[in-house]
Amino acid sequence: MNDDDQIVPPPNSGPKPIVEGRVELVIRNNSKVPLEENSQKLLLELTGGDKSRAGLDLVAVLDVSGSMSGDKLAKMQEATKFVVKKLGIVDRFSIVQYSSKAKRVCRLRQVTESSRAEIENMIKGLKAGGGTNMEDGLQMGLEVLKQRKFGKERVGVVMLMTDGQENDDSNAAGIDVGDVPVHTFGFGDDQDAKVLKAIADNSKLGGTYSDVRLDNLSVAFSLCLGGLLSVVAQDLTLTVSQKDDESTIKHVTAGRYPQSQDADATSITIKFGDLYIQESRKVLVELLLPSANKKRGADILDVTYTYKFEGETFEANPSTVTVRRTDEVKANQQQPPPEVSAEDVRLGVAEIIKQATTDADNNKLESARDKLLEGLKTLQDGDKQQLKVALRAELEELHELMKSEPIYEKQGRPFAYSLLTSHDTQRQAARGNDVGKFQLFATPLMREFLGEPQKFDDINNLDKYTEEVIKALESVEAIINNI
């Protein structure tokens, strides 16, 4: 499959400057800490800057099994055409269709005005029929990226979509996707949320699972695309190191992103993969500080991070967290900074969602709903803090979708699994009937993209209506001419 297009820049475009400062680090911690032995929680927040984006290599792996015939296929075609419409000349696009077997419909092509029309015709030509060999489809999608001849330093992503259960001999969840972000989309009530979430979870560097209703597939695709078209840093890696005789790292919380320790367990490195413009990765670091015998300043943590952009590596200046050891505060009285408390609240809610989902999956809906109600009590109805409002909305919706086994099976489980992947990755994914209602991790560009699919659909519907009117007028004209 090493027949991918080489990117040809437009005339007079010139070289694009690659600048530093694509990722900003903010550290939240108590500046004064007790003299006695104590634990401290610090929040590290990495945020993508507003810089030029990387070029995207996107492989759409599309289910064209028999169950996709009719309106579902039409919706998928419109959603995929919208994706192609939003891609630019720095992007490449490939299509893999799968039913009983997988087939590459379109090689990885640069998206130009001429190729866009050809790709849209390929999308229009998709036909439904056969089984659902999701494993074959996913494997071929990954091979398209693996066998690239040009631009392996570019952003490579797979978007996989299905409406149903995979064949008995298919095991898509068992495929090692490596460092490729795979974003899965479950379309309708017959989707297998467990498999789709497992595929996304295998994609440890930011893959998500979206629960899609019949009429919002374009919206779900566009929400994902709003991130993919704003990758400002690649291979983002953060390292935290304790300071000899001043601190010991007790725990680092960073969702499902891979962590590794150095040989003497004094530093921890977290791999995040790609970061979007205005997207954040929050990391909680818990330190144990030994007792101090006098007031003094102390360096308690070193923080470094690196990232790449189109093959070039950038290393940020190291940061050192310094505190003042003092008897002005006591360990049993000190509170963490508000930002640290807020992240603790979010993580606590995510854990409640996980526990409730486990109960619901084991046919313990009453216990699951009780856990969600307890979680709601901790968020205080009158609190207007944006984070707590968003978390309440998530818990309330999930509580409603757990009111009966049939509702949970068709809508509750997909909603819950999508919630869990979002919290684990700190990345937006679509879910529920009202996609715009749940935007805890949405970036500005994602929000901007949310309303565009409807406009695109309206234009397409108008074009179809115009074609029908023209055909009707031609038929009337033919009748008149025959009189």
Of 101-115, 344-358, 437-451, the one with minimum mean pLDDT is 437-451
On whether the CB atoms of residues 330 and 36 are closer than 8 A, the answer is: yes
Q: What is the pLDDT of residues 291-329, one digit of tens each?
A: 999 999 999 999 999 999 988 999 999 999 999 999 999
* Percent of the chain whose pLDDT exceeds 70: 92
pLDDT at res. 9: 85
Q: What is the pTM of this model?
A: 0.91
With left for phi above 0 and alpha for psi between -120 and 50, is residue 35 left, alpha or beta?
Answer: alpha
Could you give the C-alpha distances from 198 to 201, 217, 318, in angstroms and in order?
5, 20, 36
Phi, psi dihedrals of residue 323, rounded to the nearest 5°: -130, 170
Tokens 């408390």 label which residue? 341
For 446-469, the pLDDT digits (tens) are 999 887 776 655 545 444 544 554
User: What does the mean pLDDT of the chain come to?
Assistant: 91
What distance in Å separates the CA atoms of residue 450 and residue 279, rounded to the nearest whole number?
Answer: 16
What's the pLDDT score for residue 357? 98
Q: pLDDT tens for residues 404-434?
A: 999 999 999 999 999 999 999 999 999 988 8
What digits encode the pLDDT tens for the residues 27-53? 999 999 999 999 999 999 999 998 889
Q: Which amino acid is at 319?
A: S
